[in-house]
Amino acid sequence: MAWGLSVTAAGLALAMIPGLDGILAAAIAVGIGNGIITPLGFAALAPSTPEERMGQTMGAAELGRELGDAGGPLIVAGMTALATLTTGFGALAVITLLIGADSARHYTPRR
């Protein structure tokens, strides 16, 4: 999970590179990171959720994911209004990296 968030943060940092190369590299890295995070997050929730609450738990997890999809552009736009687009992407990269570090600290896989 933390590795996927780190890849996503690296992708956001790559978005700071000017031009098409930076945007393409960022899109690839963010896509890979999200491809790691999403299934692992849902797979980590499933074993600890009672069967009768599975739909509610997965729905709440998806809502949180969608809030992230909505919040990221707002954070970048807010920082861009204060400074530059590069600063906005950098701020989101730092926030994502901090979330990844926090998830690594709190997450212990079940066996």
Give pLDDT tens digits for 13-43: 999 999 999 999 999 999 999 999 889 888 9
What pTM does this model have?
Answer: 0.80
What are 110's two structure tokens? 């079940």
Q: Would residue 70 count as lying in a domain?
A: yes
Tell me which residue of 72, 68, 44, 69 sits closest to 58, measured CA to CA: 44
Distance separating alpha carbons of residues 36 and 78, to the nearest angstrom:
27
The contacts of residue 48 (CB under 8 Å, 6+ apart) are: 110
Please give the radius of gyration of the chain, using alpha carbons only, rounded to the nearest integer: 15
Q: Would residue 98 count as lying in a domain?
A: yes
60-64 mean pLDDT = 89
Give pLDDT tens digits for 71-87: 999 999 999 999 999 99
Domains of the chain: total: 1
Q: Would residue 85 count as lying in a domain?
A: yes
Q: Would residue 16 count as lying in a domain?
A: yes
Q: Would residue 77 count as lying in a domain?
A: yes
Q: Helix, strand or coil for residue 67?
A: helix
φ, ψ of residue 16 in degrees (nearest 5) = -80, -15
Q: How far is CA 18 from CA 13, 14, 106, in A?
A: 11, 9, 35
Q: Would residue 111 count as lying in a domain?
A: no
Residue 62: domain span: 2-106
How distant is the alpha carbon of residue 36 from its chain centre? Answer: 10
